[in-house]
Structure 1
């Protein structure tokens, strides 16, 4: 069984921006003893929302006191009326609306002022569509397909837009029918390029595999569309939110499985699904192959391969420089880098769990062993460096010191803010000379 992961799977630019904004707001409010809310669910992924709630970030409720609070506008955007209400509440507003959605809002707002009625091809009741309707000045209509065109009233001039996660084929068919009915029209291609590429890849991938797994929240419109597109190609398709929902028995007869994910699905969820499929695959192969794959997993997961790479680099550099390769130098490079990677992993376990779930599980399972190995490797690298010369020992110690302090600085909440301030002032100073 072979697994092919779609290149476009996972967070899109808009979702990534929204996540960055809400986490930055949370870090800032934590220093001020404030609270962060999101105007509705930030994105349509229950697992991500659950993690945000653990950080004290939750969806805003009507009766909430917004004193010393920050309200993050969700990626889907909100209506102008709701924005004014939030501004009048006294809360600090952090706008995490996707830039692609903002463009659609601007198009609708401009044409509504020019007397156009707006037709939105999308999902009625979806958060993005509700927000877009707020810009139509009461002259907005939502249809989901070409079949709904006949239900629309007569209008003098219309502005046609799509929900940014709309199906490309559906939108094209609907627009053609709208053009025939409304002679005075303006049509805009507002489907996000990320959505288009994601859908195109699903079409191609679903034709090249035996089955497709789509990972994402069931409340996510773009995730459901990916599953729908794949299924319509005749490919067995399984929509799951997490690896726990995956029925491996249904995959047993498939040789090649494709995996894609919605725009609001984080990498760690995708990787968890892939890991489960690959673990199931391992049970179906011979013992030699199982042992080989486990050995490779440990080699990569434990950072041993980085140490081996460092030794190889040290050896080859010596040869190229015409210096006799010394085993001690290779050992120092191997042990030092291995120890740094291992210890840094434990210094930021939360990020590791999100970005590399399989490696995080390996380290969690053998935490004591890896901690001891990391410390022992560091000590031995210092001892070996000292036996070579004081200069080498000093270099290794300096690298260790810098690594330790740079890691500490980057982990501080104030450091990114301080860095931004420094860059901004340098930019302003430079502008004066331009």
Structure 2
């Protein structure tokens, strides 16, 4: 089965930025302090569950905000809501998407000049609610063309759109609103990544037999992608996770397109793609998959990195005019192998999010890999010390300094070996969001 993945699938800039701000706030908080988000950070149940497990909760009516940090989500909030949070003694970290901030500033500027505001968007959506707070009580929401006829008389009108709105609907709405209210000012406020995502989906629908849209059912931009796919007459399946995919329904299709909403993490898209791609393969493709599995093992186990280190040591000796020695190649291979393997456990949560297949590979034999990593480090150190103290101290001292003072890798090692692996709550790299997976070559 051929699978094509939209280049724009996955986290958008605003969501990625919000995640970075939240995780930074969690890492930098004082002892005993709490970190909250004012409403769901993004509309994705799996990511929200991930955050809940790390003690990053959503503010509710009874939350004590004293000695706490509240992160304003990418959708933004009203000015009165921000003032309310600050009045309760909380430190505010503003993760409002820059595109949303721009819309807020436009509404605020024109409201001060006496303009009424018309927002083309989803009534009740968090972003729209926040935008209305800047309209000084003269804001109106238009969800469809029929709503325009219900608008009251207005002298001066400022027209904006929810940043994830359908661009074609917005253009039609502008024309109709300006016809009814000649004294109107309109602004293109739809995020560029949104309409690029929508345009790509339209083009992708023309070249595939069916579409899979990955993302939360509460995500407005994700459900809008579903609507766009269906409007093209393409059979469309909306799933939140790979477990929801019904392969029996896909067996009648030869080519599948995959896209995702702006709040869908990369690792979730990968799982969906992997599940669909490995379904209904022929004999030739099975050989390709078997070959790929061998290479994946060499890559996942870091064996290829060790071989590369040995080759590099050998090549450097030749280039320097020195007789290559097998023992030095072995030292380089063992050392690089051990650092690569142990580094996986130092960044386990980040790897789980960005490389789920690799994380699963290590999870099955984590004790074995930890032992091999320790043995590799020990043997390379002993061999290095045996062949010269200068070699040992120049090469290994900086590594052990980082090992014991910086990354706290030794804690993870002992946790795995003792069976009490309690991961640090907030040690998540900013690679959480990662770039979108890009166009995948068909199999």
What's the TM-score once normalised by structure 2's chain length?
0.85
Following superposition of structure 1 onto structure 2, how do residues 75-154 of structure 1 map, counting pairs within 5 Å?
75-154=74-153
Q: Which structure shows the higher helix fraction?
A: 1
* Matched residue SS, 2:338: helix
Paired position in structure 1 for 2:27? 27
8 Å CA contact retained: 1:382, 1:396: no
* Matched residue SS, 1:343: helix
8 Å CA contact retained: 1:168, 1:196: yes
Paired position in structure 2 for 1:267? 266
Following superposition of structure 1 onto structure 2, how do residues 157-236 of structure 1 map, counting pairs within 5 Å?
157-236=156-235
Deviation at 1:114, TM superposition (A): 0.6
* Matched residue SS, 2:66: coil
| CA deviation string 1:209-240 (max 9, x = no partner) | 33322211111111112222223223332211
Paired position in structure 2 for 1:425? none
Change (3 A) 1:231 1:332: farther
| CA deviation string 1:111-169 (max 9, x = no partner) | 11111111100001101001111111111111123343222222211100000001111
8 Å CA contact retained: 2:45, 2:216: yes
Following superposition of structure 1 onto structure 2, how do residues 268-283 of structure 1 map, counting pairs within 5 Å?
268-280=267-279
8 Å CA contact retained: 1:71, 1:93: yes
Paired position in structure 2 for 1:431? none
Deviation at 1:204, TM superposition (A): 2.8
Q: Does 1:298 align with 2:297?
A: yes
Paired position in structure 1 for 2:365? 366
Paired position in structure 2 for 1:333? 332
Paired position in structure 1 for 2:2? 2
* Matched residue SS, 2:163: coil
Judge which range, 19-28 or 7-16, deviates more.
Answer: 19-28
Give the distance between the partners of 2:146 and 2:189, measured in 1 at CA. Answer: 20
Give the distance between the partners of 2:71 and 2:389, measured in 1 at CA. Answer: 54
Deviation at 1:247, TM superposition (A): 1.3
Change (3 A) 1:152 1:352: same
Give the distance between the partners of 1:200 and 1:208, measured in 2 at CA. Answer: 13
Judge which range, 371-380 or 76-85, deviates more.
Answer: 371-380
Give the distance between the partners of 2:385 and 2:28, measured in 1 at CA. Answer: 44
Give the distance between the partners of 1:286 and 1:272, measured in 2 at CA. Answer: 19
Give the distance between the partners of 1:210 and 1:32, measured in 2 at CA. Answer: 54
Paired position in structure 2 for 1:237? 236
Give the distance between the partners of 2:136 and 2:14, measured in 1 at CA. Answer: 26
| CA deviation string 1:270-321 (max 9, x = no partner) | 2222232234356876653342122122122222222233233334434444
8 Å CA contact retained: 1:275, 1:358: no
Change (3 A) 1:222 1:33: same
Unaligned runs of at least 5 residues, structure 1: 417-434
* Matched residue SS, 1:63: coil
Give the distance between the partners of 1:124 and 1:52, measured in 2 at CA. Answer: 27
8 Å CA contact retained: 1:145, 1:171: no
Paired position in structure 1 for 2:12? 12
Give the distance between the partners of 2:399 and 2:280, measured in 1 at CA. Answer: 41
Give the distance between the partners of 2:300 and 2:277, measured in 1 at CA. Answer: 15
Deviation at 1:388, TM superposition (A): 4.6
Give the distance between the partners of 1:54 and 1:364, measured in 2 at CA. Answer: 19
Unaligned runs of at least 5 residues, structure 2: 412-423, 429-443
Change (3 A) 1:406 1:337: farther
8 Å CA contact retained: 1:282, 1:290: no
* Matched residue SS, 2:407: helix
Deviation at 1:413, TM superposition (A): 10
Deviation at 1:178, TM superposition (A): 1.8
Alignment coverage as a number of residue pairs: 415
Give the distance between the partners of 2:405 and 2:35, measured in 1 at CA. Answer: 29
